[in-house]
Structures are given as C-alpha cells and as structure tokens.
Chain A
Amino acid sequence: MKKRWISLFVENEVGVLAKIAGLFSGKSYNLQSLTVGETEDPTVSRMTISLIGDDVTFEQIKKQLNRSVGIIKVIDFTDTPIHMKEILFIKVKGCSHVEKEEVFRIAQVFGIQVTDYGKNSILLESTQTENRNNDVIHLLNQSFSGRLEVVRGGSVAVEAISIQER
C-alpha cells in the first residue's frame, strides 16, 4: 500500500465528476482527495486525485478510469517529477495574547500567511505540499487542540518542466 497520484483530463460536462466519484465508491476504491477545475480549454476539466492502494488495485483503478466514456486521459503522477500544492486554512480560536505570538512564530517558520486577525483568533493560509500542511496541523494541534478549524482544498499537481527544457 502506498500513496498514489493521478491526473485526469475529463470532459467538462455534467455528470463526469459523479461518474468518477461513483466509480471509486462502487468498487470500494479508497479515494483520499479529489480536486477539479477547468483548464485552458473550457471544454476540458482537470482533476488531481490521491489515493492509497496496492499495485494491483491501482492498476485496476487506472484501467477503469481509462475505459470510461468522458475521461480523455489518465496520467499516473506517482513516480513523475511534479509540482504539487494544497491550500489549507486554519483558524485558531480562543487565543491569549501569548498564544497569538506563538502562532505567529509558527507561521513564520513554516512560511504561512496570516490572512485574518481578531481579538481572540487568527486565520492562517498555507499553500504547501500536503505533507507540509499535515505537519502544520499536527504541530498546532499539540498546543491548540479543540480550538482549530481546518479547511483543506485537496492537492493540485502539474508535471515539472523537463530538464531538457531548462
């Protein structure tokens, strides 16, 4: 079992998202995150999907996706050089003055933006890899357990520009 990434090019049509989500649930494939958005061609949407699975199941998932009408292309990103980011909002609530200073320090160290600020709360915005965001949440949870509001966007990924082009 390992973490996998797939990039999907699909028709930008009603029902395609439902079809893909249904394929995962109907066949008991474990979907971890899915993001979708229009591409430079408005008739095409692009999805970034992450999941955890063994080799055989993952091969099967790719084949199932590939043969579905409405899916234009399936690219396995698992072992490809890619750039990948996830947006994460964390609201830290019920902070004392000292605690706010601590949150600011964490933000600074992790390269996170402080986007909103109130008497007792702070809103952080982090655009980093999924793993890095996991670390931030883990760290904040140690000091602010029960006082966090977490919203994650799911990762988006794109292939790196190849070395030959650099």
Chain B
Amino acid sequence: MNQIKGTDLLVKALKEEGVDLLFGYPGGQAIDLFNSLYGQNDIEVVLPRHEQALVHAADGYARSTGKVGVCMVTSGPGATNLVTGIATANYDSVPLVCITGQVPTNLIGNDAFQEVDIVGITRSICKHSVTVRDREDLGRIIKEAFYIARTGKPGPVVIDIPKDIQQAYGSDEYPSQVNIRSYKPSTGVHEGQLKKAVKILNASKRPVFLLGGGVKIAHAQEAMTKLAQQTQVPVITTIMGKGAIPTDHPLYVGNIGIHGNYASNTAISQCDVLFSIGTRFNDRITGKISEFAKNASIIHIDIDTASISRNIVVDIPIVADANVAITKMLEYTKPLDTKDWLASIQTWKDSYPIQMNRYPGLNPEKIICQINDMFPDAIVSTDVGQNQLWATQFLSLSGKKQLLTSGGLGTMGYGLPAAIGAKLGNPSQPVIAISGDGGFQMNLQELATAICMELPVIICILNNSWLGNVRQWQEMFFDKRYSATCLRYRRGCIHDCKNPDKCCPPYTPDFVKLAESYGALGIRVEREEDLKAAFAAAGKETKRPTVIEFLIEPEANVSPMVPTGKPLSEMVMDC
C-alpha cells in the first residue's frame, strides 16, 4: 500500500468522483490543498473573486448539470464567506461538497489565526458537516460526503480538513462503497399508498397537480409531462417547480403563490384533489394557511419525510423520489374527464393574464419575452427581488431551457455567479443572468471571473434605481415611507422623499463604463426599439460577458399579489 499525503488523496478522490472542475479560493490553511491540484490536468480550478460568489457559482454549476458542485476554500474568513451560499444551496436542495482548510488539530480551540468552528457554524444550514480528525478517515469521509450530497434530498456537505491532516501521509486507498448506518435515503415507493392516491385522483372532478422543485431535481420532467397528458390533469408549479412540464404545454396553468397568476391561485382554491409532488408548501405559496386548498383532498409525494404534513396536513403522504413515483403512476393512471374544469381554468387565464401593459415602452415583460424569442434553449439565472419575480412570471421554459433561482433563501447576489457556474458546466448553451441593480452590486466583482474564464454570459441589469421589491412593499403597506431603498440617495437628499423623481442625484455606478473597465461589452438600453439589437450584439460575443443595463420604470410593480396573511383567493390584481 502506497503512503500519500492527505491532499493527494483528496485530489485522487475528486477524480474518482468524476469532478473535472472545482471552485477554489486559496489561503494559508488551504495552500497544501491547492498545491496538490497544481500541475494536473484532470480538474480545472476556477478562481472566483469572493467566496460567497464561489459557492453560488458551484451551486449554479450543480443545478444546471445535475452533478455535485465542489468548493475549496481556506479556514476562517474563507469558510465563513461560504455561509450564505451553503444556506442558499441547502434551502433549494443543491448537492455541494464544500472543503474548508482548518488550522492544525493541535491549534483547534486555541483562537488561532483564521480559526473558526465552521462545522458548528454551518450545522443548521447544511445536510452534513464534519471535521476530519484522523488521516485514516479522510477517504471514507470524502466518499460519504459525495454520497450524502447527491442522494435522497440533495444538499450541501461541509468537510473541514485541518492542515496537519492535509499534510499527513497515509493510505492511498479511496473506498468504492458507502455504508452509513445513520443515513439510509428512501429509494422505492409504497405502491399501496400510491394506488390509494391514484384512486382518489380518478374520482375527482377538479384535480390539479402542484409541482415543486423536487420534480426537477429528480429529473422527472419527461415522465411528469407524460403523466399530465395521460391523466389530462392541469399542472400548476411553484417558482422552483417551473419547467417541470413545458410552460407552453396546454395543461400548464402557471405559478402558484403570492405572485402567482390568478388562474393558478383560483384553481388551487377550488380544486377537489390537490396532487402535490416535491414541494414543501412554503409560506410564499400557501398564503393564509387555513384557507389553502380548503375543499381538497391533499396527496403529497416528497423524498423528505419532514416536508410532509409540516405546513399543510395531507390526506395521503407518500415518501418517494419524484421520478420513481411518477414513473410508477404511469402504470395505473387513466384519462380523467376534466374538460369542464380545464375550460373554467382557461376562462380565468384569459380574464386575468399577467401582463405589464400599464408600463408603456421598455418594461421587464418585453425584456424577458425578447429572451424567450431569441434564446429558446438558454439557461437563465436570476437574482432576488422584482427581477426574479418577473422572470418567474414571464420566462417560458421548455426543452433544454432552465431557470436557476434562489427560491428558498432568497439570496441577493446569486444571479451573476450562478450564471458563471452554469456556463462553465454547459459551454454550448447560452447563459443569461437577470438581475436587479441592487443584487448585481452584491457580487459584481465576478465580472472579472467571467472575463478570465472567457465566458460569454449575458447579464441583464433591470435598473430601476431602487431595491424595488422592498420599495413596492413600502409603497403598498408603509405609506411610501421609502426607508433605505433608494439607490440614488445621497446625504444631501431630503429624508421624507416620496420619490418625486425631479432632481434626483445621478445613479452610481455607470454600469456600462464599469463593464468596459473589466473588459466586458457594456450596453445601455433605454428604448424598447433597441432591445433586439442589444441581445443580438450580446449573442455574438464568444469569449467575454456582456452587461446590458435596461433603464426601466423606477416604480414598476410586480402584479398581481396576495398580501401577507390573506388567502390565495384574495389577490390584488393591480399593485
């Protein structure tokens, strides 16, 4: 048996796990790790400009490829900068393995330079976290980390490796098998429960499928589309589930939730069977919980037992991977007579479509529809806030097209780095980040990463010069008391400004010049007529990113909306 260093075993392990790219940022306690990565050609190391962006990039890579995203950073601040990204991945069930350097074991607990208890810090926001305390455990721990990250309900795993373990010589063997007695994810499906569920479905007059992110994580889109077709049951999605069946499918109704469409929310309120798969009934989708799908029998399939009957008490719980369950259901289901029900839904869709006609000229709907027209197979990431909500309202999704968004944690700054990760994993597909002017500035340093990695991602900044989503709430529920949401604000401004928009200070920064200073293409679009040309110019770039700044109506709102605490049936149609 050969004796090799811990860091060399790690590199060997990564190769055996099929890792060909990782996101890393070096530092004192990670220098040995990076040394072992040097001079080999199997694993490419990407150097983002901030560890938060690093983990979002790994997240975008993982979501868009289905592979495990790998992060490697140093101890202390390197590790703590991962925290937001780990929580983001955890909420949206994204498989990551995050390797952090740590001070040598004899210094742990000593308040040594750049020492933090990252395992303790991340315990509640990751699937599993562990410090390697013995060189002989290293191989097993890495093997288990990849297994835990990608199986069951996927999620991030943190492996903290002290410097002396990195340097220590030990076995070069990397295990081929995993056997964790305290982790046995469910792989099958209880057929009796499933048959019971199908029986209820078959007897219903007004059924709906409600699909969450779990359907996409399980890669069940194809089976799900078949199931919808086979049963003729209309499909409603959460934001995370959007794309579970093609959005242009005749049975697709739209998104549910506080910014969902009228037809979806009404259908949920009036259905007699709610067949939900891979959603955890987050408060953003249920509205007032006691009124949610009040008259319906509720069936819930989820891989995570803890997601079932947590927020909504369900009649038929089924613990299973979405793809396994849906594929099985194809054997039992038959066409239902849903003609009248589908006709009612169509009437609601026609009566209250989501549109932004009240904002003439350049508006977010037109920008996103232009993306739909020109980039039918793009991977689109969003930031968080109005830009995200508009994207989830107007983006069409079918075929290879994907939407990457921080749905659970709602992390601003996610969009650009996630796009970078997605482009690295899918070099032949166009990748577009839709961002606001606020969120973009949380990780704009990643323009450098995109330049250095020669990535022609298209970054759309919907610039309304506000933290727009909070401003919308302040307008609707706080009497326009625009506290700390104006991005034009300067110290000389009056304090009770209601946005007269007359003599506001200039916006900073100049995004076009900023893009150019990085070596990216910068375009400013102020008129609807220039939309197409801007995207066409961006589409021609092959080695560098394009930043397109869209100057949109400052006070454009996201409509419709269910105010907090109200049932889904009480939507404000025009905010």
- The chain A residues found within 8 Å of chain B, CB to CB, are 10-11, 14-15, 18-19, 22-23, 26, 56, 59-60, 63-64, 66-72
Contacts and interface: CB of A to CB of B under 8 A. Distances in A.
Nearest to A64: B306
B123 A66 contact: no
B135 interface: no
Contacts of B181: 72
Interface in B99-128: 119-120, 123-124, 127-128
A14 B131 contact: yes
Interface in B266-323: 304-306, 308-310, 313
A66 B184 CA distance: 10
Query: At the interface, is chain A mostly helix, strand, loop or mixed?
Result: helix
Nearest to A27: B124
Given A18-B120, A59-B309, A71 B182 contact: yes
A11 B181 CA distance: 9
Contacts of A66: 305-306
Contacts of B183: 69
A7 to B, nearest CB: 15
Interface of B: 119-120, 123-124, 127-131, 133, 148, 152-153, 180-183, 304-306, 308-310, 313
Contacts of A11: 182
A144 B462 CA distance: 72
B309 A56 contact: yes
Contacts of B153: 67
B534 to A, nearest CB: 46
Contact of B182 (A59, A63, A70): A70
Contacts of B130: 15
B309 A19 contact: no
Contacts of B129: 15
B162 to A, nearest CB: 13
Highest count of chain A CB atoms <10 Å: which of B119, B129, B306, B310: B306
A60 B182 contact: no
B37 to A, nearest CB: 27
A23 B126 CA distance: 12
Which 3 A-B residue pairs are closest in the complex by CB-CB distance?
Answer: A63-B306, A69-B128, A72-B182
Nearest to B180: A69
A70 B306 CA distance: 16
Contacts of B304: 67
Nearest to B129: A15
Nearest to B305: A63
A15 B123 CA distance: 9
Contacts of B152: 67
B182 A69 contact: yes
Nearest to A16: B182
A63 B305 CA distance: 6
A26 B124 contact: yes
A10 B182 contact: yes
A70 B181 CA distance: 8
A23 B124 contact: yes
B169 to A, nearest CB: 24
A165 to B, nearest CB: 26
A69 B152 CA distance: 12
Given A15-B119, A18-B123, A67 B305 contact: yes
Nearest to B120: A18
Contacts of A63: 305-306, 308
B305 to A, nearest CB: 5
A14 B181 CA distance: 17
Contacts of A72: 181-182
Highest count of chain B CB atoms <10 Å: which of A18, A22, A64, A69: A69
Nearest to B126: A69
Given A11-B182, A60-B306, A63-B306, 11 more contacts: A14-B133, A15-B120, A15-B129, A15-B131, A23-B124, A56-B309, A56-B313, A66-B306, A67-B306, A69-B128, A69-B183
A19 B306 CA distance: 17
A60 B310 contact: yes
Nearest to A61: B306
A13 to B, nearest CB: 8
Contacts of A67: 152-153, 304-306
Contacts of B123: 15, 18-19, 22
Contacts of B180: 69
A81 to B, nearest CB: 26
B470 to A, nearest CB: 26
A11 B182 CA distance: 8
A22 B124 contact: yes
Contacts of A68: 182
B7 to A, nearest CB: 23
A146 B233 CA distance: 69
Contacts of A22: 123-124
A57 to B, nearest CB: 10
A44 to B, nearest CB: 9
A23 B148 CA distance: 19
Nearest to B319: A63
B101 to A, nearest CB: 19
A37 to B, nearest CB: 18
A56 B7 CA distance: 46
Contacts of A15: 119-120, 123, 129-131
A70 B129 CA distance: 10
A66 B180 CA distance: 14
B131 to A, nearest CB: 7
Nearest to A57: B310
B158 to A, nearest CB: 11
Given A59-B309, A63-B305, A69 B148 contact: yes
Nearest to A11: B182
A22 B310 CA distance: 19
Nearest to B183: A69
A70 B131 CA distance: 14
22 contacts: A11-B182, A14-B131, A15-B120, A15-B123, A18-B120, A19-B123, A22-B123, A56-B309, A56-B313, A60-B306, A63-B305, A63-B306, A63-B308, A66-B306, A67-B152, A67-B153, A67-B304, A68-B182, A69-B127, A69-B128, A69-B182, A69-B183
Nearest to B181: A72
Nearest to A73: B182
Highest count of chain A CB atoms <10 Å: which of B153, B182, B309: B182
A36 to B, nearest CB: 15
A71 B127 CA distance: 13
A22 B120 CA distance: 10
B445 to A, nearest CB: 32
A26 B180 CA distance: 25
A77 to B, nearest CB: 19
